């Protein structure tokens, strides 16, 4: 009876997981299939590369994609640097300072994006009234994305710091390393998976964001003197006036495949590192 009960539990658990995966990825699969057709959703599919050809001809889509990628990469690099250094600083702080800073870094994570966006726009208007020169631009947009992404980088790096053996850093100092050298040669390699996870999280959040972008964007980047268009704001502006263009099916397919490749590469890197670590331990023994 016990074996049958456990077997049924496993079957139900497996069915539950596969149903969730089906609900998650079936819409994406349908979108990928229809990216090779100009027919409306639900109509018979006629295979064509027209959507992909039009994608590379659309100047507006190219500008939106370029702006999105530039913003996401700049945001991710800066957020990773700030979040990583902040996590190290908080980890080495006194207990009461650590608790206070950890609380303040978690507030943006649980805060609704609309609250963050409204707070930022109020702050920019307030600063503009004081200094008379603060206007919405790429820099205000970048500041908004940093506020959104830095806490997630911090939360990705923090667990790796907690797993780090403090004796390694102290041993490096005893062997002649300066604090900076010990940080670079000992601490950073140990927390690198957390740093990479935070970087990917920052890229994803920046690519996906709409609310903060809509409130804080101004002229700049590839848009020139016009308001910066990202993929999210471009799609929102299009569907207000017209049905969703078929070209965007090809664009979303490209984005999905890029994310799959990026995540797959990261997981492969972690697996290779774990195997190398096991081999080193085996050689020691």
Q: What is the DSSP string of 14-75?
A: HHHHHHHHHHHHHHHHHHHHHTT--SPTTSPP---SHHHHHHTT-HHHHHHHHHHHHHHHHH
Tell me phi and psi for residue 186, to 5 degrees.
Answer: -115, -55
What per-residue confidence (pLDDT) applies to 145? 92
Confidence of residue 72 (pLDDT cuts 50, 70, 90): very high
Confidence of residue 282 (pLDDT cuts 50, 70, 90): low
Contact status, residue 169 vs residue 187, Cβ threshold 8 Å: yes
State yes or no: pLDDT of 192 exceeds 90: no
Look at residues 16, 179, 151, 131 and name the one whose alpha carbon lies nearest to residue 83: 151
What per-residue confidence (pLDDT) applies to 61? 85
Report the distance separating Cα 220 and Cα 230, nearest Å. Answer: 12
State yes or no: pLDDT of 285 exceeds 60: no
Mean pLDDT for the stretch of residues 173-193: 81
Using DSSP, state whether 209 is helix, strand or coil: coil
> Partners of 219 in the beta sheet?
227
Each residue's pLDDT tens digit, 209-238: 889 998 888 888 888 788 888 888 888 888
Using DSSP, state whether 219 is helix, strand or coil: strand
Look at residues 223, 251, 233 and name the one whose alpha carbon lies nearest to residue 53: 251
What per-residue confidence (pLDDT) applies to 74? 94
State yes or no: pLDDT of 172 exceeds 90: no
- What domains lie within the chain, and their CATH numbers? 56-272 (1.10.3720.10)
Report the distance separating Cα 122 and Cα 116, nearest Å. Answer: 10
Beta-carbon neighbour count of residue 160 at 10 Å?
20
**How much is the pTM?**
0.79
Contact status, residue 144 vs residue 216, Cβ threshold 8 Å: yes
Beta-carbon neighbour count of residue 120 at 10 Å?
19
Tell me phi and psi for residue 219, to 5 degrees.
Answer: -70, 150
Using DSSP, state whether 227 is helix, strand or coil: strand
Confidence of residue 23 (pLDDT cuts 50, 70, 90): confident
What per-residue confidence (pLDDT) applies to 79? 94
What per-residue confidence (pLDDT) applies to 73? 93
Instruction: Give the long-range contacts of residues 118-124, CB within 8 A, separation 24 or more.
Output: 118/215, 120/144, 120/147, 120/212, 120/215, 120/216, 121/215, 121/216, 124/216
Contact status, residue 48 vs residue 38, Cβ threshold 8 Å: yes
Percent of the chain with pLDDT over 70: 94
Question: Biggest alpha carbon distance in the chain?
Answer: 77
Report the distance separating Cα 158 and Cα 101, nearest Å. Answer: 12
What per-residue confidence (pLDDT) applies to 129? 75
């Amino acid at each position: 009876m016990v074996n049958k009960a456990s077997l049924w539990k496993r079957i139900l658990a497996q069915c539950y997981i596969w149903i969730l995966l089906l609900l998650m990825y079936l819409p994406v699969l349908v979108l990928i299939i229809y990216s090779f057709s100009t027919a409306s959703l639900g109509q018979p599919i006629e295979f064509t590369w027209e959507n992909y050809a039009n994608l590379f001809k659309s100047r507006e889509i190219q500008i939106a994609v370029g702006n999105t990628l530039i913003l996401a990469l700049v945001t991710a690099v800066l957020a990773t640097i700030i979040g990583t250094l902040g996590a190290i600083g908080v980890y080495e702080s006194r207990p009461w300072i650590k608790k206070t800073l950890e609380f303040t870094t978690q507030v943006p994570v649980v805060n609704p994006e609309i609250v963050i966006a409204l707070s930022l726009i109020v702050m920019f208007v307030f600063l503009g009234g004081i200094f008379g020169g603060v206007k919405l631009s790429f820099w205000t947009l970048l500041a908004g994305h940093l506020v959104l992404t830095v806490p997630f980088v911090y939360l990705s790096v923090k667990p790796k710091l907690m797993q780090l053996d403090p004796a390694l850093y102290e041993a490096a100092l005893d062997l002649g390393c300066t604090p900076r050298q010990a940080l670079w040669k000992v601490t950073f390699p140990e927390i690198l998976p957390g740093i990479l996870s935070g970087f990917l999280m920052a890229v994803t959040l920046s690519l996906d964001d709409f609310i903060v972008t809509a409130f804080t964007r101004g002229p700049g980047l590839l848009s020139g003197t016009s308001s910066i268009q990202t993929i999210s704001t471009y799609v929102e502006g299009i569907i207000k006036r017209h049905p969703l263009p078929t070209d965007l099916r090809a664009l979303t397919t490209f984005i999905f495949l890029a994310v799959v490749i990026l995540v797959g590469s990261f997981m492969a890197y972690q697996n290779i590192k774990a195997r190398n670590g096991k081999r080193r331990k085996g050689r020691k023994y």
